[in-house]
Amino acid sequence: MQMNFFKYEEFDSPDLPNSGRTNMDADFLRMLDDARKIADIPFKISSGYRTEEHNQKVGGVKGSSHLKGKAADITTKDSRERWIILSALQKAGFNRIGLANSFLHVDNDPDKSPNVIWTY
């Protein structure tokens, strides 16, 4: 899949090189690329695909969508940037978003409840 705004390496689990290319869901990446175009500001991916080991190391939940390659965490530097990215994610069709002080979690996991926003 061709992405306009991201490189697969941005989604690698730190303990498994090239895992972003082989494990990230193509539909998720297409939607995220669309959101990036809508936002018209860079997205810094702090977490994409995760191995079970890395997920445990960072305190990820059991059954995390990161394990399926259907999630990413996007670093935000301030409330304005958070608003721009959040709005773009919703316009791109995402309906599962987690809000934290320094990042946004987004996923499109069909096995989880849609139309939810939660806080960390």
pLDDT tens figures, 94-109:
999 999 999 999 999 9
pTM score above 0.75: yes
DSSP codes, 46-80:
EE-S--HHHHHHTTPPTT-GGGGT-EEEEE-SSHH
C-alpha 67/C-alpha 48 separation (Å) is: 9
Name the more confident of 112 and 1: 112
Contact between residue 89 and residue 104 where contact means Cβ atoms under 8 Å apart = yes
Q: Residue 90 pLDDT > 90, yes or no? A: yes
pLDDT at 1: 84
Give the E-state strand segments of the chain in sequence order.
44-47, 71-75, 96-99, 103-107, 116-119
With beta carbons less than 8 A apart as the criterion, state whether 47 and 14 touch.
no
Q: Over the stretch 39-85, which tens digit does the pLDDT of each residue have?
A: 999 999 999 999 999 999 999 999 999 999 999 999 999 999 999 99
What does the block give as tokens for 82?
């958070």
At 107 the pLDDT is 98
Task: Give me the pLDDT at residue 45, please.
Answer: 98
